[in-house]
Structure 1
Amino acid sequence: MTGSKKSIVQDFGRRRVLQYGAVGAGLALMPWQMSLAQMTSDDATKAMRTRKIPSTGEMLPVIGMGSSGSFSTRSEDTLADLRTVMKRFVAMGGTLVDTSPTYGNAETNIGAIARDTGVRDALFMATKVHINGRQAGIDQMAQSTEALGKPIDLMQIHNFIDLETQWKTLERMKADGQVRYIGITHYLTSAFEELEHQMSTKDMDFVQFNYSIMTPDAEQRLLPLAADRGIAVLVNRAYNDGRFFSQVKGRELPDYAQEFDCFSWGQFALKYVLANDAVNAVIPATSDPKHLEDNMHAGYGALPDRAMQKRMRETIAAM
């Protein structure tokens, strides 16, 4: 590890110390078996599962939080729920928050809520650039930074928009220390061929794409390529935009799910994704505190092995 990369990890480690001061030592980490109400100070030694970011070795909790469709609101009632979501997310061991300037006023809300709840220094903040033109990209990223607050840990090019122009800017920003990591994102399986090309030819820290038990295509080429190239993977659309829950509605969770510490359909979907070691984090989005807590529990306990993943796919396909 180079001196600059080591500094990156150490700086984030200091921010994690601030996290625990902000939420209270008794709530710093959450074991998978318990709800917040059952938490005791002894449980602070039981941390959420983490995985290394290949380019630095920094550890990242496996359950992050997306914000598409969840943090864009002006409703005071919804904002109150989102404040609870943010506090519980950090209390249960989360750090990665992923957003975009295209998600309505999500960046503004996330920045304000993170500061108001005292957890901003605990967060690994990821956002995106989604605009044509060099200067327009610089301006958009500056606006995102103002809304979210510094530092921006990860800046990503959203859906290949003006990719080559924006990539040059991202490389300069990383070299200048304006962002810590850079990457690209997409959300469609039809983009996998181009994703594969970009992952093979660019020196990126992160890539984000869709992967789920209903759409496991990324297992064929993208996930092995990410592992070979040392690229951290963020997974979006793990619930297939809610279609997963429509498919399992009214069905009993199979008894075998308890073998990998799974106690809800939401955890079933997330643990399937996390069973692949090339995945660094999955980023489900929600404005519901109870759903947030259920999502977070997927980061604790055992994960299914490959044979179990096959059994899980067969269960869903039979519905």
Structure 2
Amino acid sequence: MEVITLNNGVEMPQLGFGVWQVPDGEAEKAVTTALETGYRSIDTAKLYYNEEGVGRAIRASGLPREELFVTTKLWNDEHEYDKALRAFDESMERLGLDVLDLYLIHWPVPSRGKYVDAWKALEKLYADGRVRAIGVSNFTIKTLQHLFEETGVVPAVNQIELHPQFPQKDLRDFHAEHGIATEAWSPLGQGQGLLDLPELAEIGAAHGKSPAQVVLRWHLQLGNVVIPKSVTPERIAENIDVFDFRLDDAEMAAIDALDNGRRLGPDPATFAWMG
């Protein structure tokens, strides 16, 4: 498994397993399958309501803790400093872990203006050794710049919507300038037509790979961390089988050309759901 080195020296697998929209009981089974297949990075969040299932799968796997990389996230209604610290404790209890590998602020919710308080809580957790790396999710250049101005630790990761039809090049370039790893959610475009495009089928045929594998390979060669989600054992295995081929420059350019600026998820500048 290929790894990237975060800006604090911690190594993170470049390809992980996501469990968004997977119910708790099903998450346990899916994560178990993923770990058996060779994944070593698992991405969850308080909002997913499956931290307990993820924790059960981790414990049942028998894998040494140091071989695993576990991420969870702080939800939008807990950005106040003390609330954020309590939320972390609660997530850790559900996961059954003593130390977390990566903790993210799930959304900035700029209309509330509390994400700097949340980040200061994450800095405290990091300084205390309770989490190995801290980062953010769905932050824009504007909210990242504000964080830089008000706090002392540059996020290790920004997890954002990113796929060939919405590649976020300006934000990726900003990350690279500041030593922030780019992590892609919905890396396959949520199945909304992207994988049916003939350009991807043609590239896949040249390598004996599926369109999904081609897109994941594109992410890896860009340097993105990627966390595809599936509950189907065959698809879980397919998504990790992307390290035995390489796209050439023309193929990468053909995938780059699929950019249509189409965002599938909410706009981080306005998203403020507290549910």
Q: TM-score scaled by structure 1?
A: 0.70
1:199/1:66 Cα in 2 relative to 1: closer, same or farther (>3 Å)? farther
Question: Structure 1 CA distance, aligned partners of 2:180 and 2:199?
Answer: 37
Q: 1:303 to 1:196 in 2, by over 3 A?
A: farther
Question: Cα offset for 1:205?
Answer: 1.4
Match of 1:145 among 92, 101, 109: 92
Work out the CA distance in 2 between the residues paired with 1:296 and 1:99: 18
Q: Unaligned 5+ residue runs, structure 1? A: 1-47
Deviation digits for residues 280-312 of structure 1 (CA, Å, limit 9, x no counterpart): x201112111111111112x1233244322223
Q: Provide the rounded CA distance (Å) in 2 between the counterparts of 1:119 and 1:209.
A: 29
Corresponding residue for residue 255 of structure 2: 312
Deviations 1:246-287 (A, max 9, x none): x608x696444355x46112112211222213x2x2011121
Equivalent position SS for 2:132: strand
CA 1:206–1:199: 2 relative to 1, 3 Å: farther
Find 2:11's aligned residue among 59, 63, 82.
Answer: 59
Q: Deviations over 1:26-84 (max 9, x none)?
A: xxxxxxxxxxxxxxxxxxxxxx232222320x4332211111112x244xxx46xx42x
State the SS of the aligned residue for 1:160: coil
Structure 1 residues 124-173: Cα deviation after superposition (integer angstroms, max 9, x where no partner): 11111112422221111101001112221111111014311111111111
Aligned mates of 1:233, 1:316 — CA distance in 2: 18
Partner of 2:204: 257
Choose the corresponding residue for 1:119, options 60, 63, 72: 63
Letter in 1 for 2:94: A
Q: Please name the residue that 1:155 is paired with.
A: 103
Distance verdict in 2 for CA 1:212–1:150, change over 3 Å? same
After TM superposition, list the pairs within 5 Å mapping 1:223-302 onto structure 2: 223-244=172-193, 248=196, 254-257=201-204, 261=207, 263-277=209-223, 279=224, 281-298=225-242, 300-302=243-245
Query: Do 2:166 and 2:259's aligned partners in 1 also have CA atoms closer than 8 Å?
Result: no
Q: Which amino acid aligns with 1:231?
A: I
Going from structure 1 to structure 2, the CA distance change for 1:283 and 1:313 (only over 3 Å counts) comes to same
Distance in 2 (alpha carbons) for counterparts of 1:93 and 1:154: 20
| 3-state secondary structure, aligned to 1:213 | coil
Check the 8 A contact 2:33/2:233 in 1, yes or no. yes
Aligned length: 249
Q: Take 2:116 and 2:199, find their aligned partners in 1: how far apart are those partners?
A: 48
Aligned residues of 1:63 and 1:295 also touching (Cα < 8 A):
no
RMSD value, Cα: 2.6
Task: Tell me: CA distance 1:179–1:293, structure 2 relative to 1, closer, same or farther (3 Å).
Answer: same
Deviations 1:195-249 (A, max 9, x none): 5525755512111111111111x22x2212222222222111112222145x608
Separation (CA, whole Å) in 1 of partners of 2:246 and 2:68: 25
Q: Secondary structure at the match of 1:102?
A: helix
Determine helix, strand or coil for the equivalent of 2:46: coil
Check 1:256–1:235 CA distance in 2 against 1; reply closer, same or farther (3 A cut): closer
Give the greater-gyration-radius structure (CA): 1
1:192 is aligned, of 140, 159, 180, to 140
The percentage of counterpart residues that share the same residue type is 22
Contact 1:152 1:180 in 2 (8 A): yes
Cα distance change on mapping 1:176 and 1:64 into 2, 3 Å:
same
